[in-house]
Amino acid sequence: MKKLIVLSLLILASCKTKMKVEVAEAEISCGQCQFDLDSEDGCSLAVKVLDKAYFVDGFDIDDFGDAHDKHTGFCEVIRTGKIAGTIEDGSFKADLIELKK
């Protein structure tokens, strides 16, 4: 029984929450303004994967233009695009973000 408990603990410790993601059409926007995320202060880029929003590491909200532009800014609208990366420790580690025009 002791061996089973130790083995279970080792398995749990080695299971890190990490999921590879590649989506052809994901929602991309400001986490605070559009996706109601509140774990960061100020406006930050976020993506929605499987109906759950994650803050993005690897890209900045202003990398795609003015975040507060009335027609294209992430704080004003939700845009779509192709994304690839890893969901890890509650955030999206982005390798690729390509916005649709």
Q: How far is CA 94 from the centre of its chain?
A: 8
Question: In total, how many domains does the chain have?
Answer: 1
Helix (H, G, I), strand (E, B) or coil at 22: strand
Amino acid at site 101: K
The reported pTM is 0.80
Q: Give domain status of residue 9, yes or no.
A: no
Q: Give domain status of residue 8, yes or no.
A: no
Q: Give domain status of residue 3, yes or no.
A: no
Q: Give domain status of residue 1, yes or no.
A: no
Q: Give domain status of residue 10, yes or no.
A: no
C-alpha–C-alpha distance, residues 52 and 54, integer Å: 7
Which residue range(s) make up the domain with 35?
18-99
Q: Give domain status of residue 25, yes or no.
A: yes
DSSP class of residue 60?
-
Q: Cα–Cα–Cα angle for 70, 83, 17, nearest 5°?
A: 120
Q: Give domain status of residue 76, yes or no.
A: yes
pLDDT (tens place) for every residue of the chain, 101 residues total: 544 444 444 444 445 568 888 888 999 999 999 999 998 888 999 999 889 999 999 999 999 999 999 999 999 999 999 999 999 989 999 999 999 97
User: Can you read off the two tokens belonging to residue 32?
Assistant: 């605070």
